[in-house]
Amino acid sequence: MKKITREHIVASALRVLDEEGFDGVTMRRLADELGIKAASLYNHVRDKDELLGLMADAISAELPTFDHAKPWREQAEEMAKAIRRVLKKHRDGARVMAATPPAGPNRLRAIEQLLEALTKAGFPRSTVPDVAFLMSSFIIGFVLDETMGQPGDAASARRRQKEALRWMKSLPPAEFPHLVSLAGELVGSQADRRFELGIRALLDGFDRLRSV
Amino acid sequence: MKKITREHIVASALRVLDEEGFDGVTMRRLADELGIKAASLYNHVRDKDELLGLMADAISAELPTFDHAKPWREQAEEMAKAIRRVLKKHRDGARVMAATPPAGPNRLRAIEQLLEALTKAGFPRSTVPDVAFLMSSFIIGFVLDETMGQPGDAASARRRQKEALRWMKSLPPAEFPHLVSLAGELVGSQADRRFELGIRALLDGFDRLRSV
DNA sequence: ACCTGAACACCGTTCAAGT
DNA sequence: ACCTGAACACCGTTCAAGT
């Protein structure tokens, strides 16, 4: 086998993540993937939390860099979509980010870029961290919700959705009239459209904070 | 001891949650709290997932009811603040909601009320589920982020914050100029103000969707 | 009907022992 | 320096056995 390095471990961990999901990433399963024993991992990584942090940073490395030429609004919307795309590229990617503090060079670099863009866009200094934080938690929250309880493969995801629809339609309509009549729209996610609606609403709302 | 009922179990589980946090809610610890053995819990609850669902619904029961007389904007903002308050009332409350599908009568009742309010507010039928979903994931995402990695007691939370501040200020300013200069505003959360800013931006953005 | 002891198949992590 | 076996203190869950 190849030599075991930190990078090698993190790459394997992301592979396990994609195959087994967040709960499937165990030190033992990861060691198997690498052809070593679980105890050996502790020669390269302090503990599982550090490993998760490294995974989060590896995911953050896939984020594209900002194009500072474009107008801020377009920039921010594209950045938001790119973040969502990267979070969805790895199974339970949003859970990894949510479970992990925003440290690590790649993640910090992404935050720095966002702060830079917001400053250039004319947001007052004191609101720049607010807007950055809110964009981040909005995106992570959305993808978390969007992918919650969904198995990896698309087939069983669709089966689950059908089940949820049938269940929601069977609720007592006297008590839950809107829930029942909107069941189709509630479970049939159209997540892309919904995300765009949300990020645009949020950015529109932020826009009036700008002084330039 | 008292007779063991489902309600009794859920109440104890919430007590354990507040004391030990999300990861501390184990079947064994909960059984201890009730003065029984872990295996006995399975006479009352299918598995841990069902228990978490019941906990989420018990938390949802604490939500106030909507005041349909007030204008929608005020209504929605108050509802959002109330949800955040309830999520923060129990340690890791947001994690319980995020880990759990939106079933359970109390939670459904809250969603139904929100759908009702949005419909009355004049949102087109097809956007009502979008706005409801987006408000929910925004709030849960915010509180999740806000309370992440925070220990229960306020003292150690403040200690952690000081540490984070010192760490961020020690970053290389050439690479992370905004991160370093905004360190104070980034870690000193002022979460209440930040949440208001966010929910208002989001609701302002939604407002132009209304047709009434 | 409900509780228990014991077991099964897992976890993260430590540590002395090997090379 | 890095890997291993074995152990420790946990998990969720099942099931035959008790009352």
Interchain pair B205, A208: CB under 8 A:
no
Residue contact A179–B133, C-beta within 8 A: no
Sign of CA dihedral B17, B20, B22, B28: negative
Name every chain B residue with its beta carbon within 8 A of the beta carbon of A115. Answer: 178-179, 182
Average pLDDT value over all residues in chain A: 94
Residues ≥6 apart with Cβ < 8 Å to A145: B98, B133, B136, B137, B140, B141
User: CA(B9)–C1'(D7) in Å?
Assistant: 34
pLDDT band of residue A206 (cuts 50, 70, 90) is: very high
Distance CA A89, CA A59 (A): 9
**Can you give the pLDDT at residue A208?**
92
Radius of gyration of chain B (CA): 20
B119 residue type, one letter: T
CB-CB neighbors (< 8 A) of A142 in chain B: 134, 137-138, 141
> Is any atom of strand D within 7 angstroms of residue A5's beta carbon?
no
Q: pLDDT digits over B132-163, tens only?
A: 999 999 999 999 999 987 766 778 888 888 99
- Rounded CA-CA distance B35/A87 in Å is 43
pLDDT at A153 over 80: no
Contact residues on chain B for A193, CB-CB shorter than 8 A: 130
Q: How far is A121 from chain B (nearest CA, A)?
A: 14
Tell me the longest C-alpha to C-alpha distance in chain B.
Answer: 65
> Residue A80 corresponds to which amino acid?
A
B136 or A212, greater pLDDT: B136
User: Residue B201 and residue A202: Cβ atoms within 8 Å?
Assistant: yes
Give the separation between CA B202 and CA A127, rounded to whole angstroms. 15
Q: Is the CB of B50 under 7 A from strand D?
A: no
Q: Do A137 and B148 touch (CB under 8 A)?
A: no
A125-143 mean pLDDT? 97
- Closest residue to D15 (CA to C1') is B39
**A194 close to B134: Cβ distance less than 8 angstroms:** yes
Nearest to B119 by CA among B61, B66, B81, B170: B66
Q: Nearest nucleotide by C1' from B51 CA? A: D12
Query: Among partner residues A136, A178, A201, which is closest to B116 by beta-carbon distance?
Result: A178
- N- to C-terminal Cα separation, chain A: 57
Q: Percent of chain A beyond pLDDT 70?
A: 97
For residue range A52-81, what is the model confidence (pLDDT) as tens digits?
A: 999 999 999 999 998 888 999 999 999 999
* Nearest partner of A55 among A100, A88, A20, judged by Cα: A100
**Positions of chain C reached by protein Cβ under 7 A:** 2-6, 10-16
pLDDT at B1 over 70: no
B160-171 burial, b if ≥16 CB within 10 A, otherwise e? eeeebeeebeeb
Q: B136 and A125 in contact by Cβ < 8 A?
A: no
pTM across the whole model: 0.96
Closest CA to A160 of A172, A171, A170, A148: A148
What residue of B is the nearest CA neighbor of A192?
B130
Nearest CA in chain A to B177: A112
Q: Rounded CA gap, A130 and A118, in Å?
A: 10
Q: How far is the CA of B178 from the C1' of C11 (A)?
A: 41
Alpha-carbon span B45 to B10, nearest angstrom: 10
Which of B130, B167, B195 is the best residue to mutate to test the A interface, defined by the most A CB atoms within 10 Å of its own CB? B130
> What is the token pair recorded at A128?
């720049």
CB contacts of A206 in chain B (<8 Å) are 201
- Tokens read off for A52: 């998760």
Q: How far is the CA of A48 from the C1' of D8 (A)?
A: 18
Q: Write out the DSSP string of A142-200.
A: HHHHHHTT--SSHHHHHHHHHHHHHHHHTS-TTT-HHHHHTHHHHHS--HHHHHHHHHH
Give the integer Cα–Cα distance in Å for B109 and B112. Answer: 5
CB contact at 8 A, A90 and A13:
no
For residue B45, which nucleotide's C1' is closest to its Cα? D13
pLDDT, greater one: A211 or A62: A62
Mean pLDDT of B182-203: 94
Evaluate if residue B72 carries a pLDDT over 80: yes
Span A140-164, average pLDDT: 86
DSSP string, B152-195: SSHHHHHHHHHHHHHHHHTS-TTT-HHHHHTHHHHHS--HHHHH
Q: Give me the CA B27–C1' D12 separation in Å, rounded.
A: 8
pLDDT at position A2 is: 65
Contact B197 A136 (CB under 8 A): no
Question: Which H or E run includes A138?
Answer: helix A128-147
CB contact under 8 A, B198 and A201: no
Higher-confidence residue of B75 and B158: namely B75
Given this model, what pLDDT does residue A125 score? 96
Chosen for mutation from B109, B135, B137 (greatest number of chain A CBs closer than 10 Å) is: B137
